[in-house]
Structure 1
């Protein structure tokens, strides 16, 4: 890595996050060059370096390098890429580190730095009834009387995690919020049917458990119908009762 590459990366960071007060680095050749020193002085940035042959003096940086490289390795394995293609997954690896919750301060590094939640491009999905065009129910904001229905049926054209494009009964098309839409009764029944198909194995296991419980209950009932004959002799306790002590 040359000094020109380091300067280019620092310029991009300064534009995005502002100019820092100081920069702490190791004693790499590109970090100790006169060109980089002049660049930092022109921006009013103080510098400090680690002790020679002592990486533990910059333990936080060394630790984060290992964390980032571990995230890169996992991303490469999940996508089936070679190690030489690490640059293609580096943005996703950095995103995962920046959005990782710290239990000590109860916030992510991004929230700590920018004071707002970082949105993620992964992990978002839409309900099954919004994945395909079809009839849906939309909230009716204006009603002529209190006896009017609260919703009206519209045709869903397309949707994303935040908004949906629908066609109204009069033919007009508009964009509405997802929270103002709801599935129809047919869509709810279809989703319930899909869930019942997925839970067939669980249902079979429950039936086996219930059958075992019924068999056990029948055995207990039969034993109660035919009680075991017991002796009429009353057993008395042989424990001796101590006399009360008086002090």
Structure 2
């Protein structure tokens, strides 16, 4: 199945009601839980959207690069950074993450539900290559459930659970299998459920996959060879 998560898709998302809701939310609790213990350094938020997680990282002393394909989302992120007095600590980059390559690697690379126009696990491979030696990769994504959801839309099932596009989801096992255990240390590999307020203001359940890995301090990150 071909992805449709291109620039037009994300501009439409961030220009609409769902984008306004995402722009006003709190930082992802998994980010706070997984990163608070780390020494601040350089960070990349891959698929930063309106900047919620990037702004939190900057407020904690990180020098942050926020990259996203949507002009609308990044304009909102820039305004929010200025309002919080954090603009000097964040660089915003308009980038198609399926093709963009940063000029440097980062002490922390993180992503939260981002899915560009390439297969999800290949996206995680790409951002892993941007982690500096000794650095951290934090992936927070949609947990995969093989229930036949539409690959193009975020829906909700009869129980109020979010039903993300199948191609935008993964499991902890499918992510960690991409990484050679001789080259990466798995710090966290969890699948969790939490309740948030949905677009209508009613509680909705979100199923997350959270994977945190560290790269070796003396060598470039490497992936397990795949056929």
> Fold conserved (TM > 0.5)?
no
**Larger of the two Rg values belongs to structure:** 1
More helix as a share of residues: 1
* Bigger relative contact order, structure 1 or 2 (CA pairs below 8 A, ≥6 apart): 2
- TM-score, length basis structure 1: 0.30
More strand as a share of residues: 2
